[in-house]
Amino acid sequence: MTRSSIVLLPGLGANARLFSPQLAAFADRGAFVPEYPSLQDRTASVEDLARSLRRDLASRGALDARTILVGFSFGSQVALSLTRGLIDDGAAPPRAILLVSGLRRTSQLTRRFRLEVMASRLLPDAVIAHAARELVAIPFARACGLDHERTLELRRMAAELDVAQFRRLAGAATRWRFEDADEARLRASGVRLLHLHAERDPVIPPPPASVEGVERLAERAHLLTWTHAARVKSMIEQALAIDAPASPSDPSCPRG
């Protein structure tokens, strides 16, 4: 690549609509939202998804030491797992990861979320689709402080939900593991971690106070890519300003 790729990774049940402000702001920088590879196995892990996504991103030249990963909610689990896998394989990790309303430690997976995922396995797909569109979207919009326009956008996104994929991704999310030692490995490999999180997030509690480098908003919010688009834009710009090592494919990089 000759410049950074900005890879935007959505949360459970979300799609590119969630990143509409960021896609508009960074259109000239090639920002894009990849589709998550379909998981066929209900026991698949976030790591399995990350490996498949890694192949897709590499095939389009969007993954190297200049890449910026922006992970929202579940997308943060994908971003961290993908980067951990690159480091395990001796490949160049991205230069920076921005987590938005994201998970940084396993402890942020609440008991309520785990119970909801277990309960959802008992419901038919049609019931989940109807609930997401008609029962959940409006209360969730209110809880997140969305205006009328964004509430309608949330309902459209809910109407586009792939229930089968949602089930598998939710199950994978509950089995995810990431702790202090994992983050230390990322930092030792030169990866910069940025994190934006509301103190009273109604979905994902912020990481423990001992975790450094978290910008905490003293309010109730979750869908920060919409409600705090200007701040997310500023943090992406901050990530882009981080010096990236020369790629081995860069003609300016000396070869032995």
Report H helices in the chain. 20-25, 46-59, 74-88, 111-120, 125-130, 137-143, 148-159, 163-174, 180-188, 224-227, 229-240
Q: What is the mean pLDDT of residues 9-32?
A: 95
Question: Using 50, 70 and 90 to split pLDDT, how confident is the model at 41?
Answer: confident
Q: What is the pTM of this model?
A: 0.91
Does the structure show a pLDDT above 80 at 246?
no
Distance CA 18, CA 225 (A): 7
Does the structure show a pLDDT above 90 at 95?
yes
Does the structure show a pLDDT above 60 at 245?
no
Does the structure show a pLDDT above 80 at 1?
no
Does the structure show a pLDDT above 90 at 249?
no
Question: What's the whole-number average pLDDT of the chain?
Answer: 90
3.40.50.1820, 3.40.630.30, 3.10.20.30, 3.20.10.10: CATH of 6-109+176-240: 3.40.50.1820
What residue segments make up the domains of the chain, in order of their start? 6-109+176-240
Distance CA 56, CA 84 (A): 17
Q: What is the mean pLDDT of residues 138-154?
A: 91
Q: What is the mean pLDDT of residues 186-196?
A: 96
Does the structure show a pLDDT above 70 at 105?
yes
Burial environment of residue 142 by CB neighbours within 10 A (0 to 12, 13 to 18, 19 or more):
exposed
Q: What is the mean pLDDT of residues 87-113?
A: 96
| Higher pLDDT among residues 234 and 248, named by residue | 234
- Residues 6 or more apart whose Cβ sits within 8 Å of residue 213: 193, 194, 195
Percent of the chain with pLDDT over 90: 75
SS3 at position 16? helix
Q: What is the mean pLDDT of residues 135-149?
A: 88
Distance CA 1, CA 215 (A): 30
Question: Using 50, 70 and 90 to split pLDDT, how confident is the model at 24?
Answer: very high
Does the structure show a pLDDT above 70 at 37?
yes
Does the structure show a pLDDT above 80 at 145?
yes
Distance CA 173, CA 165 (A): 12
| Higher pLDDT among residues 97 and 248, named by residue | 97
- Residues 6 or more apart whose Cβ sits within 8 Å of residue 108: 204, 205, 206, 207
Residue 133 confidence (pLDDT): 76
Express each pLDDT in 174-183 by its tens digit. 999 999 999 9
Percent of the chain with pLDDT over 70: 93
Residue 43 confidence (pLDDT): 87
What's the full length of the chain, in residues?
Answer: 256
Residue 226 confidence (pLDDT): 97
Residue 129 confidence (pLDDT): 83
SS3 at position 12? coil
Report H helices in 92-147. 111-120, 125-130, 137-143
